[in-house]
């Protein structure tokens, strides 16, 4: 991306995630490990994981200007390619070295298809890292993980372990359960375009089978799954049906700041 375009979005992006631009753009502060952790948490608490574009017949583009326009200007969320794609641009604009890495998500039969997920390996100017940053896997870590550590790493999201796997890959485990298998070679965002297209078009993709909009909250998590508002507070889950389009649209706006002019079309059960 052209540096001028990236910098044009920098202050607006920081404001989008509730961070004062003065902390970085006007103070000359370097992006250190503590700042990365704060940005990671702030992103998770302000930019939702959501697949609404698929059910609004909005094409999903991984072109960098389109990603920034959606997340920053239109104040929407997205799924992994969009969220981590955008977060990478923010970190790079703040001086980090970011490598986009592919992952295979675990299912009942082990790791699934290549490129099903994208995460970030981040190295900082203070010499720390690499860090595994991931703001696009739904309910996951609140803070980045030390990519080279093979010890248990405690996070508000659970106990995480990175374990060596075949071929130099890494398994990411949460509370002992494998989440995804990470490939450490660097990839271009364009490498994820075919799988992104599959995820938004195939009837076999779980993203086409229903809507989800979910975000970390200070005391838990808040989600809208199809037409149900779900709150998890201190481990206690409550559900509230959203009856009618007006209630659904109001819930998107009130809880996620997403203003829609029509309801996403949820496939029949």
Could you read off the pLDDT of 89-112 as tens digits, one per residue?
999 989 899 999 999 999 988 999
CA-CA distance, 129 to 244, in Å (whole number)?
A: 48
Residue 195 lies in a domain: no
Per-residue pLDDT of 213-234, as tens digits, reads 999 999 999 999 999 999 999 8
Any idea what the CATH number is for the domain that residue 134 is in?
Answer: 3.30.2140.20
Residue 198 lies in a domain: no
Q: What angle do CA 192, 128, 68 make, to 5 degrees?
A: 35
Query: Does 183 lie in the same domain as 114?
Result: yes
- In this structure, what is the dihedral angle of CA atoms 156, 259, 15, 88, given to the nearest 10 degrees? 60
Residue 199 lies in a domain: no
Strands 97-107 and 220-225: unpaired
Q: Which residues are catalytic?
A: 80, 117, 134
Segment 73-81 mean pLDDT: 97
Residue reference for tokens 């009618």: 244
In this predicted structure, which of 4-18, 24-38, 120-134, 244-258 has the lowest mean pLDDT? 24-38
CA-CA distance, 210 to 228, in Å (whole number)?
A: 11
Query: Does 120 lie in the same domain as 52?
Result: yes
Query: Does 219 lie in the same domain as 165?
Result: no
CA-CA distance, 159 to 174, in Å (whole number)?
A: 6
Query: Does 178 lie in the same domain as 50?
Result: yes
Per the structure, the count of domains in the chain is 2
User: Residue 252 is part of which domain span?
Assistant: 210-269
């Amino acid at each position: 991306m052209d540096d001028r375009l990236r910098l044009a979005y920098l202050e607006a992006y920081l404001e989008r995630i509730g961070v004062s631009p003065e902390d970085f753009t006007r103070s000359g502060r370097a992006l250190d490990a503590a700042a990365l952790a704060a940005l990671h948490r702030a992103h998770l608490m302000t930019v939702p994981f959501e697949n609404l574009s698929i059910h609004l017949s909005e094409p999903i583009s991984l072109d960098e200007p389109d990603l920034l326009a959606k997340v920053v200007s239109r104040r929407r969320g997205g799924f992994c390619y969009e969220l981590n794609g955008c977060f990478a641009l923010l970190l790079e604009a703040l001086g980090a070295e970011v490598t986009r890495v592919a992952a295979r998500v675990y299912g009942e039969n082990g790791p699934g298809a290549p490129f099903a997920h994208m995460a970030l390996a981040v190295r900082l100017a203070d010499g720390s890292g690499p860090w595994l940053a991931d703001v696009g896997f739904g309910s996951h870590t609140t803070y980045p993980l030390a990519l080279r550590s093979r010890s248990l790493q405690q996070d508000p999201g659970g106990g995480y372990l990175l374990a060596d796997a075949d071929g130099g890959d890494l398994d990411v485990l949460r509370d002992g359960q494998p989440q995804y298998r990470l490939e450490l070679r660097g990839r271009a965002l364009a490498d994820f375009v075919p799988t992104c297209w599959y995820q938004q078009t195939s009837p076999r993709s779980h993203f086409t089978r229903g809507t989800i909009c979910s975000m970390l909250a200070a005391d838990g998590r808040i989600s809208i799954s199809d037409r149900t508002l779900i709150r998890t507070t201190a481990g206690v889950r409550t559900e509230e049906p959203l009856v009618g389009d007006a209630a659904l649209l109001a819930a998107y706006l009130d809880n996620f700041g997403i203003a829609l002019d029509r309801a996403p079309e949820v496939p029949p059960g």
